Structure 1
Amino acid sequence: MQFEDVAYKINIKQVGGFLKKNDAESQEKLILKGITGIVLPSEMLVMLGPSGSGKTTLLTALGGRLGGHLAGNITYNNKPFSNAMKSNTGFVAQDDVLHPHLTVTETLVYTALLRLPKTLTKEQKSQHAEAVITQLGLSRCKDSIIGGGLLKGISGGERKRVSIAQEMMINPSLLFLDEPTSGLDSTTSQRIVFTLWELANGGRTIVMTIHQPSSRLYYMFHKVLLLSEGNPLYFGKGSNALDYFSSVGFVPSVAMNPADFLLDLANGISFDDSCEDEIAIKQTLVCSYKENLSESVKSEVGSDHNQVHDSIDHDKKLKRWSSTWCQQFDVLFRRGLKERRHESFSVLKIAQVLLVAILCGLLWWQSDTSRHLQDQLGFLFFYCGFWVTYPVFLGIFTFSQDRAMLRKERASGMYHLSSYFMAMTLGDLPMDLVLPTVFFIITYWMVGLNPTPGSFFSGLFVLLYSVLCSKGLGLAIGAVIVDIESASAFGTVLTLTFFLPSGFYVQNVPVFIRWIKYISINQYSYKLLLLSQYKPGETYTCGNNKTCLVEHFDIVKTVGLDGLATYVVAMTIMLVGYRLIAYFALMR
């Protein structure tokens, strides 16, 4: 892999109103400033530098995952980066994005099923996953869950090795790693780097960033790239770094870790007797690199152009997708069921639904139509309110939890977005519908609603249908509004807006705002629930023991007992429409 004069700049959003600057320089910031280098098979290139020096930005650019204003030339065996190459290049991010409830074996087997060629059988892919587990020393914890947060699982070092194992599944010839030793103790860090060193010696190309390695780690590095504020200060063999800086006048005053010395220089700290400040030291090092190293590095990159073997295009026939759409759907569906069931059927959620159901049953105990029509209407409206609001917020939080995983796996070219979306939609159906069904069964008989089978099953259908529509609305909000706090606030305002004009609280809605009820899920689900319980001509006992028609009751009269087909079609449009909005928002 060669990279020549790589530069990257970003636009900075200005704040401050009337006090903001208007000059062009304040709107752009140069992150990378013309970086050149080359890394060959069986070599490990390590990028060093202080925080904010551009290490992760450069690594992301080299891994083909950085958009925006990227300049320069990056080639792989003299070929530009392509989507087909993405699924055959390993990239391990700094944060370990893993499913917490899956075991190590399950995590890697699912990865193998998605990333290995479709010409292999499931058994062969599972065997390959087992081989990678053994290769990276994960046999001891292979049956343990990943864990995370408050869920106890494997250790931090083991989590990092699982992340590396996921990328090793495709046997990549080029592997990128961002801070693979971050947050780990020195012994675990050495084990991780030694594993990578062995992989490099096996013929792979390893490129990674490390913040502050120990001296034991430093001497494993084949090549070192030192960065400071986006400028290259050194590129070459790690063993030659101290000699180079000595030749330009920077010598450590005491025996020390070479990595610490390089990082001090990158921060503008020198241990000699000069009185230069940090800025002057950095400028001196940048100029020294341009005068002494820049041309030799560029000549090394240029001389290698004619010596590479076109192994990527011929030895490995790259394909955009390793598995078919149906295979992707099958794997994602089964993985989603196994992972989401722990959250959807948590003790807290089950207890919450059961408690509300029992409380409602006691409050509306045996509110039969003949004597307590008002109470029944209130209970049916509560049905709508609770089972519209609750699924909306479940949907809002769905993508916030999956976004990091989706971004990681889609960047690796593991599956189509459509296969993920369909697997998520269908996989969530059992978990979305079980708790409302239990709630309905408990409350229906405690409240004393219409006992006929037709009314029971039609009422259950309406409730579940409204749950699906509301979940779709929540998915759309969560996909369109990335910030979870903003999405929650918007969801709260929207559900309240739909709640109020639905026919129970306000019977005479002003004409200029009446249109809101026609886009309200509450309005449609309430109307259909009334139709499931009452029929035209049905009576109830009104004042002075008189018999009155149900359709003449104020609330029922406002909502009406007609238009069944129209309301079902309207909810069907919402069911499909909200999910289409969510899908296209995810594509963005």
Structure 2
Amino acid sequence: MMPPGEQEASIAMKTGPVNAVLANRSETMPVHADRSSSPSHVIPCPDEENPSPHQDHQLRKSSVLRRSLRPVILKFEDLTYSINLRTGKGSFWFGSHEPKSTRLILNGVTGIVKPGELLAMLGPSGSGKTTLLTALAGRLNGKLSGSVTYNGQPFSSSVKRKIGFVTQDDVLYPHLTVTETLTFTAMLRLPKELTRLEKIEQVESVISDLGLNRCSNSVIGGGLIRGISGGERKRVSIGQEMLVNPSLLLLDEPTSGLDSTAAARVIATARGLARGGRTVVTTIHQPSSRLYKMFDKVLILSEGSPIYSGESGRVMEYFGSIGFQPGSSFVNPADFVLDLANGITPDTKQYDQVEVHGRLERHEEQNSVKQMLIHSYRKSLYPLLKDEISRTSLPQDQTFSGSKTKSSTRTKDTQWPTSWWVQFYVLLKRGLKERRHESFSGLRIFQVMSVSILSGLLWWHSRVSHLQDQVGLLFFFSIFWGFFPLFNAIFTFPQERPMLVKERSSGMYRLSSYYIARTVGDLPMELILPTIFVTISYWMGGLKPSPTTFLLTLLIVLYNVLVAQAVGLAMGAILMDVKQATTLSSVTMLVFLLAGGYYIQHIPGFIAWLKYISFSHYCYKLLVGVQYTGNEVYECGLGLRCRVMDYEGIRNLMIGNNNMMWDVLALGIMLVGYRVLAYLALRNL
């Protein structure tokens, strides 16, 4: 394992095509003189008169990436954010009689980060680190007072495309390999000016830069699927953001759950990226002294209020100047400042080890320490920060908006990095590759095959004389292939919600392209198993031995599957909670089962309308309609033959409407209506 120091230098050296544009410092904002700049890989200077095809390819690729990397000066001033808390008292119907209380999450946070700097935000749990990082990424819901600017501009769609945001939890598809994960991301996020080959080269460059070559062909894993390590997963998440060459990179707890070696490598990676000319901000809970030395600036929060903001190397000097000295000469600065953020001084920390009583006094003393630190910050550091923010100016031509002469049509076209069809194709291919393990799992295949064979044996070669048995088999088709796809579809959007929110927040693709790709991708996966099921059960069950009737029966069942899946998608998208959606679907399917027309033929008029909203009723009615003709007879007694349509169960089912096209139309309305409802629910996510 390479030591962190050498590792950092290696990462900074291996900048590849991503950072090649930074070799010419005249085109980017210079890194401050007190920061050691690592060498950059420089593309060999081509022959300007006769460039080779490879050199022309590299120059065009570098030109596109150069436009994507614009050094960002991040300024945030007096950020304040609060949330309303529920008291939990009062009844469901009348609500709470107590006034709503609010909790202050951020209280006057100010800071500035420049290109080439790595800012670490420290603080105890609940101090507002993640909230602040989310606000800097422009993803914080609710009212945020204060200002956040990127090169002097407010947050906008053009700014969003220059920001890379890595969440604390690694949201990745478990069945895809590292290369596949980064390749699909590159196809969606890299600009359309780059060819497929150039995007793949970018993926290979990022894999090399982040040291992921060894595990490039390994699956991500997760849950019960064994895959790459936690540190490698974190670097894959960083790599997804690095593909677009972001100007501003935000990392939320990148070392969470990692050992010291893996954590050091991740932070060294972040510092190497900062040295490449980017602005990097990270939250971190409790870094070791080795990690702390890699930070350029630190921002320390205590209950949402800053107590220090400035260079990491001067933190001990500052707190010493206001009367807080560590208990020993060998102390991790991060541990020392985190104790202070909790209101624990070296003296009170030693006293607390033997103190048993007086907890209230200790709590009051800690609060007084916090208030004193906040007051000292406001008096000493805050004016200096405001002065630095006002003095820091931007170089010319470092804005995001580009030329103001562009037409509105051009702005609309460049809102997305790729076209709708490219997004649809990539998402469809990724979905098929990821979900094939689930749709064709051994357990699901065993479940369907066992039920089909069992039903075929139970209805083995049933005859028309046993009309009730045959009708029961047809009703079983409608019920089983209503329950099964509906309950499978319920899990779709609740499980994919983290990925959908993450990718949509970064502007990777349109919601319509995702939804259509998901719908189309489900067709082969969701229709193969019912086809096998009907093929086995139909011929074993002794239904009408007619190829035409069999094909019509199969088409009706598949039609029913699509409608049931649409109902499940709508329930899952509206509730976004698997437990609630499962409960609701159980009640819904029970109602559809009872109102389907098999168990009860004489439904009271005041509740008969239930069958008209049951897709199982229409499916059952269509199956019976194609299975039996109006003139068909069956043996209804010794030497007696009766018309099938005179059978009470069928006569009551068909009464009032013998035109099957109305049933097909009703199912079509449900199919379209529920899918549109699911799409609208996702838009409000």
TM-score by length of 1: 0.97
Residue identity opposite 2:670 in structure 1: M
Query: What is the match of residue 116 of structure 2?
Result: 42
Equivalent residues of 2:158, 2:400 under 8 A apart? no
**Aligned-residue RMSD, C-alpha:** 1.7
Shift of the alpha carbon at 1:533? 0.6
Query: What is the match of residue 593 of structure 2?
Result: 499
Query: What is the match of residue 164 of structure 1?
Result: 238
* Map 1:56-455 → 2, pairs under 5 A: 56-254=130-328, 255-272=330-347, 277-305=365-393, 310-314=398-402, 319-369=414-464, 371-455=465-549
Shift of the alpha carbon at 1:519? 0.7
Structure 1 spans left out of the alignment, 5+ residues = none
Q: Which of 621, 642, 648 matches 1:527?
A: 621
**Percentage of pairs with the same residue:** 54
Equivalent residues of 1:146, 1:159 under 8 A apart? yes
Shift of the alpha carbon at 1:314? 4.1
SS at match of 2:282: strand
- Taking the aligned partners of 2:346 and 2:467, their CA distance within structure 1 comes to 87
* Map 1:538-557 → 2, pairs under 5 A: 538-557=632-651
Shift of the alpha carbon at 1:520? 0.4
Equivalent residues of 1:329, 1:423 under 8 A apart? yes
Q: Per-residue CA shift, 1:340-392, capped at 9, x if unaligned? A: 110000000000000111110111111121x2110011111111111001111
Residue identity opposite 1:570 in structure 2: A
SS at match of 1:312: coil
Residue identity opposite 2:659 in structure 1: G
Bigger shift: 312-321 or 560-569?
312-321
Shift of the alpha carbon at 1:315? 10
Query: What is the match of residue 570 of structure 1?
Result: 666
SS at match of 2:154: coil
SS at match of 1:145: coil
Shift of the alpha carbon at 1:532? 1.7
Shift of the alpha carbon at 1:394? 1.0
Residue identity opposite 1:378 in structure 2: G
Shift of the alpha carbon at 1:14? 2.9
Equivalent residues of 1:87, 1:321 under 8 A apart? no
Q: Per-residue CA shift, 1:443-469, capped at 9, x if unaligned? A: 011101111111000000000000000
Equivalent residues of 1:5, 1:36 under 8 A apart? yes
- Taking the aligned partners of 2:123 and 2:95, their CA distance within structure 1 comes to 32
SS at match of 2:131: helix
- Taking the aligned partners of 1:433 and 1:532, their CA distance within structure 2 comes to 20
- Taking the aligned partners of 1:250 and 1:214, their CA distance within structure 2 comes to 20
Shift of the alpha carbon at 1:248? 1.0
- Taking the aligned partners of 1:195 and 1:314, their CA distance within structure 2 comes to 30
Query: What is the match of residue 75 of structure 2?
Result: 2
Equivalent residues of 1:8, 1:30 under 8 A apart? yes
Q: Per-residue CA shift, 1:318-349, capped at 9, x if unaligned? A: 94210001110000000000001100000000
CA pair 555-211 structure 1, distance change in 2 beyond 3 A: same
Equivalent residues of 2:78, 2:107 under 8 A apart? yes
Query: What is the match of residue 28 of structure 2?
Result: none
Residue identity opposite 2:383 in structure 1: E
- Taking the aligned partners of 1:12 and 1:491, their CA distance within structure 2 comes to 32
TM-score by length of 2: 0.84
Query: What is the number of residues matched between the two proteins?
Result: 586
CA pair 357-329 structure 1, distance change in 2 beyond 3 A: same
Query: What is the match of residue 38 of structure 2?
Result: none
Shift of the alpha carbon at 1:22? 5.3
Residue identity opposite 1:388 in structure 2: G
SS at match of 1:441: helix
Residue identity opposite 2:81 in structure 1: Y
Shift of the alpha carbon at 1:284? 1.0
Equivalent residues of 1:144, 1:153 under 8 A apart? yes
Query: What is the match of residue 577 of structure 2?
Result: 483
SS at match of 1:170: coil
Residue identity opposite 2:254 in structure 1: P
- Taking the aligned partners of 1:526 and 1:20, their CA distance within structure 2 comes to 45
Bigger shift: 420-429 or 545-554?
545-554
Bigger shift: 268-277 or 406-415?
268-277
Q: Per-residue CA shift, 1:205-260, capped at 9, x if unaligned? A: 00010001000000100000000110001000000011111111111102211101
- Taking the aligned partners of 1:309 and 1:27, their CA distance within structure 2 comes to 46
